[in-house]
Amino acid sequence: MKQEYIGKIKVNKIEEYVDRLDPNFVFKNFNNDIIEKNKSWLIPNFIEKDTFLLYFSFHSYLIETPKHRILIDTCVGNNKSRPLPNWNMRNSDFLKRFKQFNIDRNMIDFVMCTHLHADHVGWNTLLDNGKWVPTFPNAKYIFSKKDYDFFNNAKEGEQGYLSMIDSVRPIVENFQAQLVDDNFAIDDTIHLDPTPGHTPGHICIQLNSDRERAVFTGDLIHHPIQINKPELETNFCFDPKLAVKTRKKFIESYVDQNITIFPAHFSGHTKGIIKSSNIGNIFSTI
């Protein structure tokens, strides 16, 4: 993704890594006919040509407004013990990539997490002398209170249990967390949009500047194929039926609106718009 401006707000993508995932691992009741119908726009950016494996990018967005520097979602992180092999004890140069934007981690004012799953909170912390400390020492971390309350009660072995220990609670204990409700706004350019289903407190983040609009969609939509088939349920949702309902409503209200979508896991050019076409709604990269 090239640098983007939404009005006066600068947006860059900082990539951690790109995975290739079996659609049957990601979706319930998956059928390759869906790919056949959509392959003209899914291949080669979003699906691997010969295997039909799904590309899944893990990235953060760095936003610079005239007043603030904000990081949206913080990927998987380094040195974290996780059950998924590709997430376990990673050792990437993610933090070095800030340098290309002439920013270091001390300059981030806000970290915003669309939800509190392990691949959205990982770089909240880093390991320093055996202790998890905030990666962004001068930032306020914005967490949905609904998600925090939910994952705070996760039991050992449940989704979110490990990441609460090493990536969320250390932020709270260091007095850097702000637990917010659905109508939180940083200022008149950035506010939240509740989109429950994937997690109870999942939020999208809305940008408005100089009459231009964009939205960071987190895991409301995991893969572009769900723009055409929003009823595809993933295996990682707290309430898959509610996730489908929320996704359908979102796509219906954003189709042909020329509002830039910044998804959390779309690979390649990543950003785009939702367009109607003769095969139904599609994601068109811009």
The residue ranges that bind Zn ion (CB under 5 A) are 119, 219
Q: Which is nearer to Zn ion, 65 or 272 (CB)?
A: 272
Least distance (Å) from Zn ion to the CB of residue 205?
14
| Number of neighbouring beta carbons within 10 Å of residue 213 | 15
Distances, alpha carbon 199 to alpha carbons 20, 27, 150, 260, in Å: 23, 16, 9, 23
Other CB atoms within 10 A of residue 156 CB: 7
Element counts in the chain: helices (H) and strands (E): 8, 16
Nearest distance from residue 68's CB to Zn ion, in Å?
Answer: 24
Q: Which is nearer to Zn ion, 4 or 119 (CB)?
A: 119
3-state secondary structure of 64: strand
Q: In what side-by-side order are the strands of the sheet with 69-72?
A: 4-6, 9-21, 54-64, 69-72, 110-112, 140-144, 177-180
Closer to Zn ion at the Cβ: 26 or 274? 26
Q: Which is nearer to Zn ion, 69 or 120 (CB)?
A: 120
Compute CA distances 126 → 118, 119, 122, 130, 136, whole Å: 14, 14, 8, 9, 9
**Residue 9 or 164 with smaller CB distance to Zn ion:** 164
